[in-house]
Amino acid sequence: MSKPMTKTQLVAALADKMGADKKTAGAALDAICDLITSEVSAGGAVTLPGIGKIQCRARPERQVRNPATGETFTKAADKVVKMTIAKALKDSVNG
């Protein structure tokens, strides 16, 4: 398995695809990340066409166990960010 693409590599590839310089591509990537973060933090969802949907889901209060001690305790309700992968991406990976 290969290493994940770094932000620097992503910015360089984005600049190449856009036909722009790395500074512009970096600013575009940062703006997209900021928009996704603010929307999901506010309880909304963001759909990236062909990629998937990023959303915040609430998890209820639940019983959990500490594997080291075996102690069972109640974990408070919290929120978690989930990403549902689009069928198009799944098909391109498996096809």
| Shared domain check, 57 and 32 | no
Q: Does 16 share its domain with 35?
A: yes
**Same domain as 92, residue 50:** yes
Residue 1 has pLDDT above 70, yes or no: no
Segment 64-73 mean pLDDT: 94
Q: Which domain holds residue 72?
A: 46-95
E strands present in the chain:
45-48, 52-59, 62-65, 72-75, 78-85
- Residues 57 and 82: their CA atoms lie apart, in Å, by 7
Mean confidence (pLDDT) of the chain: 94
In this structure, the answer to whether residues 50 and 95 fall within a common structural domain is yes
The radius of gyration of the chain from alpha carbons, rounded to an integer in Å, stands at 19
Angle at 60 between CA 56 and CA 62, to 5 degrees: 135
Tens of pLDDT, residues 71-93: 999 999 999 999 999 999 999 99
Q: How many domains does the chain have?
A: 2
